[in-house]
Amino acid sequence: MAAIIDLSGKVAVVTGGTRGVGAGITRALLEAGAQVVTCARRPPDKPVEAAGRTARFLPADLRDPEAVGGFFEQVRSEYGRLDTLVNNAGGTPFRMLGEGGAGQHARVVELNLVAPLTASLAAYEGMRRQRGGGSIVMIGSVSGTRPSPGTAAYGAAKAGLENLARSMAVEWAPRVRVNTLVLGMVRTELSHLHYGDEDGIAAVGRTVPLGRLAEPADIGDACVFLASDRAAYISGAALHVHGGGERPAFLDAATANH
C-alpha cells in the first residue's frame, strides 16, 4: 500500500493498536509513512514495528473522558497535529443476554460505542482547526448488520457506531471525514479461541466466499486508503471488508439441486 499511498508527514492515532487487528492497522500506517501513536490501558509486550519504524505507545483508559482528553492534548502538543484517528479498541466476551446483568451489557456498549464517541470528540477539537482537517475511521463489525446471539450488546453497539459515523460525517463536514470499516472474521493471535486449531480455522475460512479469514494487513490497507487523499470524497460510507460476507444458510438447506 505504501507504494501507491504516501502518508509521510501525517500523524495517526490507533486505539487498541498494539495487537490483533489494531496492530495490523498500525503496521500498515507505518508502512505508508505515517507517524503512529497507539493507546490502550496496558503497554504491549513488544512495540509494533514496520518498515524500520516503530509506533509510539501512550497509556489511556478510553472509558475515562478526562484521560482521553489528556491523551489527545499530549498528541497535539508533541506532534503539532492529528490527521487520522482509527477507533479500533473494542471487543466482548461471549455471553447470552439472559446470562448477564444489565450492567455487564452496558459496559460492552460503553467500550464499543461510547468510548469511540469520546475519542472522536477529543480528536475533532484539533482536526477542525488545522489545515487539511482530518479523517476518522470507525472499526465496525458484521455483528452490527445481522443478529448477534451471544454478543448482542456488542452487535447493538457496532450498529450504533456505524450510524454515529454517518451523523458525524454530516455534522463535521467539510473539515473532517468519517467512515466505517465493517469487518467480518479476521485471523489474529486469538483466532484459536474462537475457531479451534488450524483445521478449524481453515474450515471457518471456507464459509467465506473468498475462501479465507481476513488478515490484519487487509484491514490495515483499507484504513490507509480511507486516511489518504485518494479517499478525499468519501465520507459517511461503510466499507465492508468481509471477503464477500456469509453464504446464506438457505442455499445449503435447499434440496432442489441435491
Task: Go through the domains of the chain in sequence order and give each one's CATH number.
Answer: 11-253 (3.40.50.720)
CA atoms of 70 and 118, how far apart (whole Å): 12
User: Does pLDDT of 232 surpass 90?
Assistant: yes
Which residue is it, cell 501525517?
Answer: 10
CA atoms of 63 and 89, how far apart (whole Å): 11
User: Does pLDDT of 70 surpass 90?
Assistant: yes
Grid coordinates representing 13 are: 492515532
Contact between residue 32 and residue 6 where contact means Cβ atoms under 8 Å apart: yes
What is the torsion angle, in degrees rounded to the nearest 10, for the CA atoms of residue 77, residue 82, residue 86 and residue 89?
10
Q: What is the pLDDT of residues 179-224, one digit of tens each?
A: 999 999 997 766 655 666 787 788 788 889 999 999 999 999 999 9
Mean pLDDT of 247-257: 80
- How high does pLDDT run on average in the chain? 93
Provide the pLDDT for residue 2: 43
Scanning the chain, the segments in alpha helix (DSSP H) are: 20-31, 65-79, 102-109, 115-127, 152-171, 191-195, 198-205, 216-227, 249-253
CA atoms of 178 and 168, how far apart (whole Å): 6
CA atoms of 258 and 251, how far apart (whole Å): 11
Mean pLDDT of 132-143: 97
Grid coordinates representing 112 are: 464499543
Q: For residue 124, indicate whether it is catalytic.
A: no
Identified catalytic residue from 79, 154, 195, 233: 154
3-state secondary structure string across 13-24: EEECCCCHHHHH
Instruction: Of 146, 162, 112, give the one whose Cα is nearest residue 245.
Output: 146
DSSP helix/strand/coil, 223: helix
CA atoms of 46 and 57, how far apart (whole Å): 10
Contact between residue 32 and residue 61 where contact means Cβ atoms under 8 Å apart: no
Confidence bin at 161 (pLDDT 50/70/90): very high
Contact between residue 220 and residue 29 where contact means Cβ atoms under 8 Å apart: yes
Beta pairing, strands 56-59 & 84-87: unpaired
